[in-house]
């Protein structure tokens, strides 16, 4: 995403200037004060005062630059002091909790994965989260006062304002107070967001969404979700449910979806529906290498991928169908919102052209020409790890925004430490 300072109230001006300078250094650094003033159109004294404050907060460092400026002095170049602070990211997926700690430039230096054999009850799930966070703090040796926050990527419906998981389909739990639990336990700001939206944020910071103001990130796994970035902002909608591309209808007379509707994309192209369709075709006695590949074991997506790689017609047909339906759904939403880029995430896309060709061809056929010419399709370079990268990026992203809750809390915690 491109950083664009938002216009705000007069009181918000300083906070906005601070965010503008921080982002200029992040994106363009090492950079001198004079260059910042020139690029941001802020006055040199304003830049000087804010840079001084940011250096006192240990967020910026300066070093002598290369070359000479008029008067023979070497310019002092500013950079983000990346290793001065850390952010923790937690990704609570369907069966695993992945926890990492990273520096401000996104370098992960300690991580832990814990598998959940069976969906745990509420209290046990919350304790699993806090146990994982404690582990990375202790094992990494990070000083707690250097940790600016904990970001949690949670599957299912999430209220990011309240920091709760409204509904988790895999855990079958409602209203999980994730933010409250972790803030009470660690006294560090906690942010919670839906996992596909954290992936989208990570793509904007480190992946295919960099410098793109309007893009769609589609994630295909057991279900299908998407993150929508409009004008550099992730769109959540009034009830936090925006992006449910999996439940857009791609065939009015299609099969029943688990949401109760008929013909949803998820009933055609999610991993669970691909498996169901493949099993059905095998039961009908269609010849396939899958009989040998799976043997007497239960059919998995790995078997299907292997069959596609071995050019098994049945597996290739099911994958191509999934690609076509994904293409229809993507074309519909692209016609509606006009994205510059579509970023695809999911193991499914590793089978390559078998799924991507019909997907691209459907997007090509079903989008308006003006939209089509301005849209590209890319595979997520971050993959599943994008969810946890996005989780800690939630915290870092807020630190770089003007006048946000995180900045207020962050400032509060630094002043309480120094007092």
> Contact residues for Zn ion (CB under 5 A)?
247, 257, 259, 261, 264
Work out how close the CB of 248 gets to Zn ion at its nearest, in angstroms, rounded to a whole number.
8
Angle between helical axes of 271-283 and 301-309 (0-180°, round to 10): 70
Work out how close the CB of 269 gets to Zn ion at its nearest, in angstroms, rounded to a whole number.
12
Between 126 and 267, CB nearer to Zn ion: 267
Work out how close the CB of 222 gets to Zn ion at its nearest, in angstroms, rounded to a whole number.
13
Give the span between the Cα atoms of 10 and 88, in whole angstroms. Answer: 33
Between 270 and 367, CB nearer to Zn ion: 270
Give the span between the Cα atoms of 308 and 319, in whole angstroms. Answer: 8
Quickly count: other Cβ atoms within 10 Å of residue 8's Cβ. 12
Long-range contacts of 34-39 (CB under 8 A, 24+ apart): 34/69, 34/75, 36/78
- Which H/E stretch holds residue 110? strand 108-115
Between 86 and 268, CB nearer to Zn ion: 268
Give the span between the Cα atoms of 8 and 145, in whole angstroms. Answer: 31
Between 207 and 327, CB nearer to Zn ion: 327
- Which H/E stretch holds residue 257? none
Give the span between the Cα atoms of 132 and 208, in whole angstroms. Answer: 29
Between 169 and 313, CB nearer to Zn ion: 169
Between 26 and 247, CB nearer to Zn ion: 247
Between 34 and 259, CB nearer to Zn ion: 259
3-state secondary structure of 399: helix
Work out how close the CB of 328 gets to Zn ion at its nearest, in angstroms, rounded to a whole number.
15
Residue 363's contacts (CB-CB under 8 Å, 6 or more residues apart) are: 327, 330, 331, 334, 342, 372, 375, 377
Work out how close the CB of 262 gets to Zn ion at its nearest, in angstroms, rounded to a whole number.
8
Quickly count: other Cβ atoms within 10 Å of residue 204's Cβ. 27
Work out how close the CB of 276 gets to Zn ion at its nearest, in angstroms, rounded to a whole number.
14
Angle between helical axes of 405-418 and 385-399 (0-180°, round to 10): 70
Work out how close the CB of 284 gets to Zn ion at its nearest, in angstroms, rounded to a whole number.
25
Between 259 and 368, CB nearer to Zn ion: 259
Give the span between the Cα atoms of 202 and 234, in whole angstroms. Answer: 11
Work out how close the CB of 192 gets to Zn ion at its nearest, in angstroms, rounded to a whole number.
24
């Amino acid at each position: 995403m491109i950083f664009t300072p938002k216009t705000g109230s007069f009181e918000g001006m300083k906070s906005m200037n601070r965010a503008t300078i921080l982002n200029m250094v992040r994106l363009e650094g090492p950079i001198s004060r004079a260059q910042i003033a020139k690029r941001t159109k802020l006055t040199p004294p304003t830049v000087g005062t804010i840079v001084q404050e940011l250096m006192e907060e240990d967020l910026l460092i300066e070093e002598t630059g290369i070359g000479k400026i008029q008067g023979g002095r070497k310019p002092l170049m500013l950079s983000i002091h990346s290793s001065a602070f850390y952010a923790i990211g937690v990704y609570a997926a369907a069966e695993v909790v992945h926890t990492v700690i990273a520096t401000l430039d996104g370098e992960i230096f300690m991580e832990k994965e814990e598998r959940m054999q069976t969906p745990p009850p509420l209290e046990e799930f919350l304790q699993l989260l806090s146990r994982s966070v404690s582990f990375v703090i202790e094992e990494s040796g990070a000083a707690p006062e250097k940790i600016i926050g904990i970001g949690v990527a949670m599957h299912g419906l999430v209220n990011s304002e309240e920091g709760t998981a409204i509904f988790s389909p895999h855990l079958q739990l409602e209203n999980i107070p994730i933010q409250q639990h972790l803030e009470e336990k660690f006294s560090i700001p906690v942010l919670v967001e839906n996992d596909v939206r954290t992936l989208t944020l990570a793509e904007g910071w480190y992946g295919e969404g960099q410098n793109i103001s309007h893009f769609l990130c589609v994630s295909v796994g057991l279900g299908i979700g998407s993150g929508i970035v409009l004008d550099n902002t992730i769109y959540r909608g009034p009830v936090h449910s925006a992006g449910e591309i999996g439940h857009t209808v791609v065939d009015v007379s299609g099969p029943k979806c688990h949401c109760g509707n008929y013909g949803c994309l998820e009933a055609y192209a999610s991993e669970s529906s691909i498996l169901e369709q493949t099993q059905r075709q095998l039961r009908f006695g269609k010849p396939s290498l899958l009989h040998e590949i799976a043997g007497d074991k239960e059919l998995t997506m790995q078997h299907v991928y292997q069959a596609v790689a071995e050019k098994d017609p049945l597996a290739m047909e099911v994958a191509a169908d999934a690609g076509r339906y994904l293409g229809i759904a993507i074309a519909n939403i692209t016609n509606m919102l006009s994205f510059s880029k579509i970023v695809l995430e999911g193991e499914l896309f590793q089978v390559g052209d078998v799924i991507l060709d019909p997907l691209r061809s459907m997007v090509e056929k079903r989008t308006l020409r003006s939209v089509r010419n301005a849209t590209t399709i890319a595979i997520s370079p971050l993959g599943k790890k994008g969810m946890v990268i996005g989780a800690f990026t939630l915290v870092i992203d807020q630190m770089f925004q003007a006048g946000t809750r995180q900045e207020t809390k962050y400032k509060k915690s630094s002043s309480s430490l120094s007092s």
